[in-house]
A = this chain, B = another copy of it.
Amino acid sequence: MRIKMVIAYDGTNYYGYQHQPGKVTIQDTFEEKLAIICKKHITTYASGRTDGHVHAKGQVLHFDTDIEMKENNWMRALNSLLPEDIKVVSVEKVDDEFHARFSAVKKEYRYYIKLGEYDIFKNNYTAYYEKLDVSKMKEAIKYFLGTHDFKSYSRFVDKKPTIRTIYTAQINELEDNILEIKFIGNGFLKYMVRIMVGTLIDVGLGRKEVDDVLKILELKDRTKASKTASPNGLFLYKVYYGKE
């Protein structure tokens, strides 16, 4: 039987999602607890990896098991074993065609920036800039919308295709001087959200012009974009399957 789970985690104390020998990762921590319930190691498949210190509100994974248990009991059993910074949000029995990674049709990431006064209690979950020109950033972010080759905005990985479609790219000003940058797309390349955000930050700081964002996109050259924004502001917010 195949089980789909939505999990949330505070990535602050982890070396990213994916298994790494000798490092504490989300996947290793999760599978270690799952093994206690299943009495053997079971490999899980996630919608994708997240980098060190990146958080998730809605990471999705699946695994196969013979264990018969109600959805709610899976959730309770795992949450009683998992540390306080990783929690199962929902559990669903799915058919064997479902794959957390390959069935995903859209992903949503959100990036948070604290403006104004520095707040140490927001530091694990936001990047910090005293002042950014938000209206310029709102203009610039529109260039990411649509289907483009995002080579400039990703870490080059061999010959993998770099064309992606972004359906939503918007900036919201929340309470407490917090900026929320939201991206929904059919997929995101390695570091892509953080490099896009890093470049938008440079627009907000006046180090780049609004239409540099477009020019960089067209140049297909990673060295033209800004540096990768810090991981702590980034949240894998939701993974979409089918018509949602």
Residues of A within 8 A of B (CB): 8-10, 55, 84-87, 118, 120-121, 123-125
Contacts and interface: CB of A to CB of B under 8 A. Distances in A.
Contact of A8 (B8, B55, B120): B120
Copies of this chain, complex-wide, total 2
Given A55-B121, A85-B120, 5 more contacts: A9-B120, A10-B123, A85-B123, A87-B118, A87-B120
B55 A123 contact: no
A124 B85 CA distance: 9
A86 B120 CA distance: 7
Contacts of A120: 8-10, 84-87
Nearest to A55: B121
5 contacts: A8-B120, A10-B121, A84-B120, A86-B120, A87-B118
A134 B121 CA distance: 26
Nearest to A57: B121
The 6 closest A-B pairs by CB, nearest first: A84-B123, A10-B120, A85-B120, A87-B120, A8-B120, A10-B121
